[in-house]
Structure 1
């Protein structure tokens, strides 16, 4: 039997960042993952502290953003790969009222450093009767490159086993799983949590999101654009467009209805021809109160969960890993907003 401090189940953004935290703290661990939950792999990859529908800050935005950048830059150094790209978002205004709301929001001290009051009059080949507002301190994270690079690193270290986790082989009395004994186990399974017999009572809601990737020559857009969707430049005339939100889904496969929904919205603003070169879908793990699910099992005291990030995983995951680690190792209280104890 091989003894480890931790077993991590799942390797989306939540499992990845908890593994990084364990490396930083010199804890031994093994990750089990079979790529069955791919929401992180198909995520848009945007890190953005501002809710652009209402022009207000996301929960704990300043703290999350500062820590997230530190951790992603640390991962880049560890892996020798560049996957974090700082670039602004241009928010397309739909009315004079929205422009006025932008100026009102930018007067608030907590928002002033994010919202540029110098509006951009127009963007070539993007239809708009009104201006565009620039959001600063935002960017794009290549989640596919990050996850694959870190997975390869962990495989080389012997810390990653690519297989489905079998709950029937987990012995909570002996703290053992197959050939491993462990001190703690952390479940980071995304929407797969619904199949977890230890935490499937938590109110996780699957939300299917889909993106298309288009090739559009001549657009030459380097910044991200937010209209009713996001348009994210990937380089080489490729742009990722989305995403949809659907809680009433039958499967996790890309759908023609979502593709049609995206292209109808895109055609209203993009004034150049394009071709669709790819479509992808994933199931976001969301909650009704829009807060993560982090904490300890009510009865099995060394079983933990780290989940429910919704569409904010890129910003939230680094801090969530720190909070959970400090909760486990140093008994520091979790933020009450994300502690699963709120459902007890």
Structure 2
């Protein structure tokens, strides 16, 4: 019988953040992952403290950015990779009215740190922007695919990763902990993203799921070293390539790319881009989203050794480290969760 402190099911951004806390606290663990959920892998990985559709502050942005700026550089050093790319985000204005809304938001104390007070009139020859841009500060991109591939390799090298589907009916639990086949643990944390829908213990949590699709284009004449947010985002990833995204579909729960989404993204892209390009990749994934845009975290109401870590939505690289820390404090020190993230709020 193998004894560990934690069993973790799922290996996306939430799981990585939680594993890092366990490692720092000298807790032993094993991770199960069957690669069935793709939202973390296909995520663009942008982090920024401003909701650019409405010009409002991201929930707990200060606390989240602090953890982003400590966890990801540490992972880069340990894994020998580059994943944290500091990046300017320029919000393309569609009208004078949007400029005015930007200034109105920027003057608020909670936003002035994150939004430039100046209209950015940088000339970007391939971008149609007659009303110019607003600049978001303290932003960047995490290369989620590179991070997760390297992290899984490290887990495997330390015998912490089991690449197989977790079989819920093979788990037993009691006041002392959980037993899964030949593994005995004090706690089990389910960080399965949309895959939680097949989990008999947490399948009824209020997780909606929102399909997102992203294109990768190649545009040698674009020469863009900033991210552009308009009706779509345009995100440089190197070698003349850019992410273009993303769609939002609450009905389709398949993980296959669709022609309809591709056409939608291309239509929006062509409305702002004035140079030739070609599509080189098209991916899709189901984001674990909620109606109130808050995570779903907490302890099972009956089985006290079972926990959920989910609902990170479109901002997993920012929210993951923050909510993982909150969950660890609940488990180890019985510190109550903020009701805003407690899945039992519903």
- TM-score between the two structures when normalised by the length of structure 2: 0.97
Q: How does 1:156-305 map to 2 (within 5 A)?
A: 156-173=157-174, 175-305=178-308
Contact between 2:253 and 2:286, CA under 8 Å: does it hold in 1?
A: no
2:107 is the counterpart of 1:107: yes
Per-residue CA deviation, residues 146-182 of structure 1 (Å, 9 max, x unaligned), is 1111111111111111111011111123721011001
Q: CA deviation at 1:118?
A: 2.1
User: What secondary structure does 2:345 align onto?
Assistant: helix
Q: What 5-or-longer segments of structure 2 have no aligned partner?
A: none
Q: Distance in 2 between matches of 1:332 and 1:39?
A: 30
Q: Tell me the number of residue pairs that the alignment of Structure 1 and Structure 2 aligns.
A: 343
Alpha carbons 2:210, 2:289 under 8 Å: kept:
yes
Give the Cα separation in 2 of the matches to 1:25 and 1:195: 31
Checking the alignment, whether the CA contact within 8 Å between 2:234 and 2:243 is kept in structure 1 is yes
Give the whole-Å Cα distance in 1 for the aligned partners of 2:253 and 2:5.
Answer: 38
- Aligned-partner Cα distance in 1 for 2:149–2:58: 28
Aligned to 2:2: 2
Q: Counterpart of 2:138?
A: 137
Greater shift after overlay, 182-191 or 283-292?
Answer: 283-292
Please give the alpha-carbon distance, in whole angstroms, between the structure 1 residues aligned to 2:321 and 2:26: 17
Aligned to 1:119: 119
Q: 1:339 maps to which residue?
A: 342
Give the conservation status (yes or no) of the 8 Å contact 2:209–2:253.
Answer: no
1:94-139: CA deviation from partner (whole Å, max 9, x where unpaired): 1101101111111112211211122222422101221111111000
CA shift for structure 1 position 250: 5.0
Partner in structure 2 of residue 51 of structure 1:
51
Once the two structures are superposed, residues 252-301 of structure 1 have per-residue CA deviations (whole angstroms, 9 ceiling, x without a partner) of 10000000000000000000010000000000011111111000000000
Segment drifting more, 213-222 vs 73-82: 73-82
Contact 2:41 / 2:144 at 8 angstroms: preserved in 1?
A: yes
Q: What CA distance in whole angstroms lies between the structure 2 residues aligned with 1:125 and 1:81?
A: 31
Aligned to 2:34: 34
Distance of 1:85 and 1:150 partners within structure 2: 18
**Residues 34-83 of structure 1: per-residue CA shift (max 9 Å, x gap):** 11001000001100110001111011111111112111112112212110
- Are residue 63 (structure 1) and residue 63 (structure 2) matched? yes
Q: Aligned equivalents of 2:253 and 2:320: distance in 1?
A: 28
Instruction: Tell me, in whole angstroms, the C-alpha distance in 2 between the residues paired with 1:82 and 1:305.
Output: 30
Inter-partner Cα distance in structure 2 for 1:124 and 1:105: 28
Tell me by how many angstroms 1:251 deviates.
1.6
